Structure 1
Amino acid sequence: MFVRVSVDSKPEALLQLMLREWQMDRPKLLFSVHGGSENFTLTPKVKQAFTKGLITAARSTGAWILTDGINTGVSKYVGEAVKTFGGHNLRKRNTVGVTPWGVIDNNTDLIGRDVSPTCCPRAPGSP
């Protein structure tokens, strides 16, 4: 699921979208995992420890995991951890990627899909 929002969208509106429409559980904690966009390799042992630790911590605390949503650097490892151990129920994953629109491949393919203006105002001039 995704939503494209304006820079002046109200955070309260986004939260309500996530809680009501997407039926995500309200977070008790937020993990913000950000890093450089440079790719790097983790040893299997470190990758396993990171993956298990992140998912265990998120599940046990009711946390949402926030990333930049880009498939490089540390965010790539977050995505792999969620995909591998986060379960198949998207509502229970509670992982949110906040990605600049211009970075998304084929972003124009997303314009006009399931448009619902009830959440968040669009930026002036945006489709």
Structure 2
Amino acid sequence: MLSYVRVAVDSKPEALLQLMLREWQMERPKLLLTVHGGSENFILPPKVNQAFSKGLITAAISTGAWIFTDGINTGVSKYVGEAVKLFGGHDLRKRNTIGITSWGMIDNNLDLIGRDVSTKSVSFLLA
């Protein structure tokens, strides 16, 4: 299940954290791993890709970390997504990987406007 939230620039971080902990039932992280890079695609050699993927997921699982990316399916973030898909298991994919991107970068973003904002819904729009 994929959850999302749209927030205003002046949203309080505490409100977003409470949403993630209470409504989405994420466990409080012991560590935050942020992976950022250019949006340009590049090719990692297979051995480097496997070492990166296994290392990232091992670090996240062993530390109880949340992984933050720019939420774009290009560049280094694409490799993070592939790592989570291949090695992360269901719980990590659902609960510990968070993509943060601007509203304009989301395909078909207009389809998300006006969705149910109740706590029983899969999706949340706060702004």
- TM-score (normalizing by structure 2): 0.88
Cα distance in 2 between the residues matched to 1:68 and 1:91 = 15
1:55 to 54, 57, 75: 57
Partner residue of 1:42?
44
Cα distance in 2 between the residues matched to 1:22 and 1:113 = 17
- 99 and 36 in structure 1: CA distance in 2 versus 1, 3 angstrom threshold: same
Structure 1 range deviating more: 78-87 or 7-16:
78-87
- 120 and 58 in structure 1: CA distance in 2 versus 1, 3 angstrom threshold: same
- 7 and 116 in structure 1: CA distance in 2 versus 1, 3 angstrom threshold: farther
Contact 1:6 1:120 in 2 (8 A): no
SS at match of 1:88: helix
- TM-score (normalizing by structure 1): 0.88
Partner residue of 1:95?
97
Equivalent position amino acid for 1:52 in 2: K
The answer for unaligned runs of 5 or more in structure 1 is 123-127
The answer for unaligned runs of 5 or more in structure 2 is none
Give aligned pairs, total: 121
